[in-house]
A = this chain, B = another copy of it.
């Protein structure tokens, strides 16, 4: 399989093919195709540290049929296709290292159906998570997956995103019941039905979720929804030590309290969030916690959690009972990344994303904290700690080569540490082109099987090439960032 599976093929089309594809797209899509430098750069944009690698053109699609047309035109010329949602991915997922056409899905933003009785809905991929939740609120429903950014549902599916609610409601893997996608040859498939479970053949839904646009373009998603709980209570509990806060999380999860959110901010992150989000917390390791259930159930959960927190040095619980106070709290949590960026003006924030078995969480965080201090790096820590997932936001002066090197060393040690503890290099950000080198380290020969799947579904290797699967030939073909 090794050889057959190798993604070879000409990844960057030659100038003639490129011109022909662009000319065909221009004549078909007119104003809705752009080759302007500003638009291209915006679509090669990347949050965090990856260099901007703009595509050759951007086309704004309005329907599945149009996506299929664009893909067919590109396939005919060996032109890479990069699906684009909101450009908020963190590992360079929308970069165009081999050039190509970015399909901007933001105009495919209709909510096609809501089935309150089945707790599901059908949406186009350009719908953002906030727009969806605003739409659903009046019906007493919500969609729980919430990465920091107001990302598009298609993008969130593509990176297998999660966020603060995953500990209770799962990730995009669990939230997508079924989807439609344009495959690399332009055909459209539907991967499942609205049934809540199925054993009907290979799980193509889960294959497309997390594929980062490398197997096709998602054009429609059927999502599981949840009823807005009767009672919600949230609050902050502050700890004397980072270890105490971590241990409280582990004990909470192990005790089976169905906590809806349990988020860690270390001392430095609290300082950053105080400044950026106008919080007034003490600069101490803190847990942001939320409980969902009936009035009585929420009270019971909060009492149980309070007892556990106290055992590990947690202070008084500061409740955010009103929706407005809760919103402020969670907005601050979602803005943690931007708070970090503001902590050291001029520096780039490099977001790491390891996830470990929860029994190793405290140890992994403590060792990483020590490692940061030893390497003299500035890196606030936040985490979806109920899942064992945490982020160090390294704030790096990219003009200081020694510091850049130190940051690289730290990242590599962090991933090694997580893998050694039975964890993963990425809990929710995906591989993009930033983590391809870690994937083989983590999963070994399984990556060859991924390559075989990629080769089978996208033999021309036009779908978001260079992401997840790193062909041997890639590095020499990568175009310099423009």
Residues of A whose CB lies within 8 Å of any CB of B are 1, 4-5, 115-120, 159-162, 166, 170-171, 173-174, 183-185, 187-204, 206-207, 209-211, 215, 226-227, 229-230, 250, 253-256, 294, 296-297, 300, 353, 355-359, 387-389, 418-419, 422-431, 435, 438-439, 442-450, 452-457, 459, 468-469
Contact = CB atoms under 8 A, between A and B. Distances in A.
Contact of A117 (B353, B356, B358): B358
A209 B203 contact: yes
B195 A388 contact: yes
Within the oligomer, what is the number of copies of this chain?
Answer: 2
A439 B453 CA distance: 21
A452 B457 CA distance: 7
A430 B197 contact: no
A425 B184 CA distance: 28
A442 B193 contact: yes
A50 B256 CA distance: 43
A187 B445 contact: yes
Nearest to A355: B195
Contacts of A118: 357-359
A185 B199 CA distance: 26
B196 A355 contact: yes
Nearest to A353: B199
Given A202-B450, A296-B296, A196 B160 contact: no
A148 to B, nearest CB: 14
B423 A193 contact: yes
A450 B204 CA distance: 8
Contacts of A119: 253-254
Contact of A300 (B162, B296, B427): B296
A443 B201 contact: yes
B359 A423 contact: no
Given A119-B254, A195-B387, A202-B215, 6 more contacts: A115-B359, A187-B445, A192-B424, A200-B439, A229-B256, A453-B456
A105 B114 CA distance: 45
Contacts of A184: 1
A197 B389 contact: yes
B457 A357 contact: no
A256 to B, nearest CB: 4
A297 B227 CA distance: 18
Contact of A162 (B115, B197, B215, B418): B197
A204 to B, nearest CB: 6
A65 B119 CA distance: 45
Contact of A199 (B189, B210, B455): B210
B120 A198 contact: no
9 contacts: A116-B254, A189-B446, A189-B448, A192-B443, A197-B355, A200-B425, A201-B210, A294-B300, A453-B453
A355 B192 CA distance: 12
A289 to B, nearest CB: 18
A467 B154 CA distance: 32
Nearest to A292: B256
Given A188-B445, A202-B453, A197 B1 contact: no
B456 A202 contact: no
B199 A427 contact: yes
Nearest to A230: B256
Contact of A227 (B190, B194, B195, B256): B256
A295 B191 CA distance: 41
Contacts of A457: 1, 449, 452-453
A195 B115 contact: no
A284 B356 CA distance: 50
Contact of A355 (B159, B188, B198): B198
A422 B198 contact: no
A97 B204 CA distance: 26
A42 B255 CA distance: 44
B1 A424 contact: no
Given A206-B203, A359-B118, A197 B425 contact: no
